[in-house]
C-alpha cells in the first residue's frame, strides 16, 4: 500500500511540475500574444517591401508553372460575375500569393492604381518574366471601374 501511495504522490508532483513547466509556453502561444506579435510584424512592413514581395511571389509562381500566364486587370473594381476570380489586385489575395509575409503585406495596403502600377514596374524590371500590356474595351454592363489596362505576365524562356 505504501508503494501505491508513493506512486500517487509522484504522479501528482509530476503533474504539478509539468503544469509549471508548460505555463510559459502556453502563455507564449495564447491568442493575445499572437495578435501582439502579428501587429508588431505588420507595422514593420513598408510599401516598398510589399511591392517587392508581391512581385517575387508572382515570379515564383511563374517559374514553378512555366506554361501558365497571369492576367491582371489594372482597375479599382471588376465585377466577379463577368470576370474570373483573382483578375485584379483588389479584394482577396490571389492564388499566386503564397507566403505568409506577402499575404500580410497584401492586406495591409490599399491597392490603389499607383500601388498596382508599382507592382507591374517591379515585374518589368525582372528578367525571368515578360509583361505584355493591352488596353481592352469592355461593355458598360460588365461593371469595371477606373480601368487602365490589362497586364499579361508570363515566364520568359531563355
pLDDT digit string (tens) for the chain, length 158 residues: 888 899 999 999 999 999 999 888 888 888 888 889 899 999 999 999 999 999 999 999 999 999 999 988 888 887 776 776 667 787 778 888 999 999 999 999 988 889 999 999 999 999 999 999 999 888 777 788 888 899 999 998 87
Backbone φ/ψ region at 98: left (φ over 0), alpha (ψ -120 to 50), beta: alpha
As separate numbers, helices (DSSP H) first and strands (DSSP E) second, the chain gives 5, 5
- Please list the alpha-helical segments (H only) found in 45-156: 47-64, 100-108, 113-125
Q: Is the distance from CB of 144 to CB of 117 less than 8 angstroms?
A: no
Q: Is the distance from CB of 147 to CB of 75 less than 8 angstroms?
A: yes
Backbone φ/ψ region at 137: left (φ over 0), alpha (ψ -120 to 50), beta: beta
| Grid coordinates of 82 | 463577368
Residue 146, pLDDT score: 86
Closest CA relative to residue 122, chosen from 47, 52, 30? 52
Q: What is the SS3 assignment for 84?
A: coil
Q: Which residues, listed in sequence order, are joined to residue 70 by a DSSP beta bridge?
A: 153
- Rounded-to-integer distance, Cα 148 and Cα 145, Å: 9
Amino acid at each position: 500500500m505504501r508503494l501505491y501511495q508513493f506512486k500517487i504522490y509522484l504522479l501528482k508532483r509530476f503533474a504539478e511540475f509539468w503544469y509549471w513547466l508548460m505555463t510559459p509556453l502556453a502563455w507564449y502561444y495564447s491568442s493575445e500574444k499572437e495578435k501582439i506579435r502579428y501587429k508588431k510584424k505588420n507595422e514593420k512592413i513598408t510599401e516598398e517591401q510589399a511591392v517587392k514581395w508581391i512581385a517575387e511571389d508572382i515570379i515564383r509562381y511563374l517559374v514553378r508553372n512555366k506554361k501558365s500566364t497571369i492576367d491582371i486587370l489594372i482597375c479599382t473594381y471588376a465585377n466577379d460575375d463577368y470576370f474570373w476570380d483573382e483578375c485584379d489586385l483588389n479584394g482577396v489575395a490571389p492564388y499566386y500569393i503564397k507566403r505568409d509575409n506577402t499575404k500580410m503585406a497584401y492586406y495591409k495596403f490599399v491597392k490603389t492604381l499607383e500601388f498596382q502600377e508599382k507592382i507591374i514596374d517591379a515585374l518589368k524590371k525582372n528578367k525571368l518574366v515578360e509583361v505584355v500590356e493591352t488596353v481592352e474595351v469592355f461593355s458598360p454592363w460588365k461593371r469595371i471601374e477606373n480601368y487602365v489596362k490589362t497586364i499579361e505576365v508570363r515566364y520568359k524562356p531563355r
